[in-house]
């Protein structure tokens, strides 16, 4: 006999079918047929969309450092050569990240690095999740692109910023960290 249970993740729903009596899914292995797991539109929680606990007290540099620490963890786990090949990023840039430096990276490159790990979905899925997250958070904070541009200390014009948010223009990881932190600080929810 099998029982089904539903796990509500931050970004979707996972339905697991496991042997009765093992409702937590322990000791089940989908690869042996002793459990079946169906994932519907779930993207694992990603550092790019993690909630910033105290955004008013957190700097954009600290947010970027968290992104880079996660990227460095992926590089350590997967290996520099494998990440550079998968992400099609210069080996020196990958080595700099692994060493704790902050090279200039685009969000696309960062998503490619994360996607080199089996723990993350493909890069295009990560980017879509990031874009959706920013737009939803801006909506919750009642921010339009003009207000966001003004809030970023006038460093951005609204039109190019909109293009970056939509993925039509490249956005650096540093720019995204500033945006993520600012929108989080403006969002009362």
pLDDT for 115 equals 94
Separation in Å, CA 34 to CA 4, 6, 51, 62, 166: 13, 17, 35, 43, 42
pLDDT in tens, 82-124: 999 998 899 999 999 999 999 999 999 999 999 999 999 999 9
Task: Output the pTM of the full model.
Answer: 0.73
3-class DSSP string for the chain:
CEEEEEEEECCEEEEEEEECCCCCCCCCCHHHCCCEEEEECCCCCCCCCCCCCCCCCCCHHHHHHHHHHHHHHHHHHHCHHHHHHHHCCCHHHHHHHHCCCCCCCEHHHHHHHHHCCCCCCCHHHHHHHHHHHHHHHHHHCCCCHHHHHHHCCCCCCHHHHHHHHCCCCCCEHHHHHHHHHHHHHHCCC
User: Which residues in the chain come in under a pLDDT of 50?
Assistant: 1-45
With b meaning 16 or more CB within 10 Å and e meaning fewer, what string describes 14-51? bebebeeeeeebeebeeeeeebeeeeeebbbebbbbbe
pLDDT for 41 equals 41
pLDDT for 157 equals 86
pLDDT for 124 equals 92
End-to-end, the C-alpha distance of the chain in Å comes to: 42
Domain ranges of the chain: 2-40, 60-186
Give the torsion sign (CA, 76, 172, 152, 187): negative
């Amino acid at each position: 006999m099998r029982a089904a249970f539903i796990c509500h993740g931050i970004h979707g729903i996972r339905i697991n079918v496991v042997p009765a009596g093992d409702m937590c899914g322990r000791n089940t292995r989908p690869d042996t047929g002793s459990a079946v797991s169906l994932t519907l539109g779930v993207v694992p929680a990603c550092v790019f969309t993690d909630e910033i606990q105290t955004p008013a007290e957190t700097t954009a540099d600290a947010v970027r450092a968290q992104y880079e620490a996660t990227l460095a963890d992926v590089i350590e786990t997967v290996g520099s050569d494998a990440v550079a090949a998968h992400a099609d990023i210069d080996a020196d840039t990958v080595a700099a990240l692994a060493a704790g430096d902050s090279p200039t990276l685009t969000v696309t490159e960062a998503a490619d690095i994360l996607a080199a790990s089996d723990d993350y979905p493909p890069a295009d899925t990560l980017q879509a999740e990031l874009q959706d997250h920013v737009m939803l958070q801006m909506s919750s904070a009642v921010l339009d692109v003009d207000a966001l541009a003004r809030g970023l200390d006038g460093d951005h014009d609204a039109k190019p910023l909109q293009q970056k948010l939509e993925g039509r223009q490249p956005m650096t990881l540093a720019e995204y960290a500033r945006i993520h932190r600012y929108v989080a600080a403006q969002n009362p929810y």
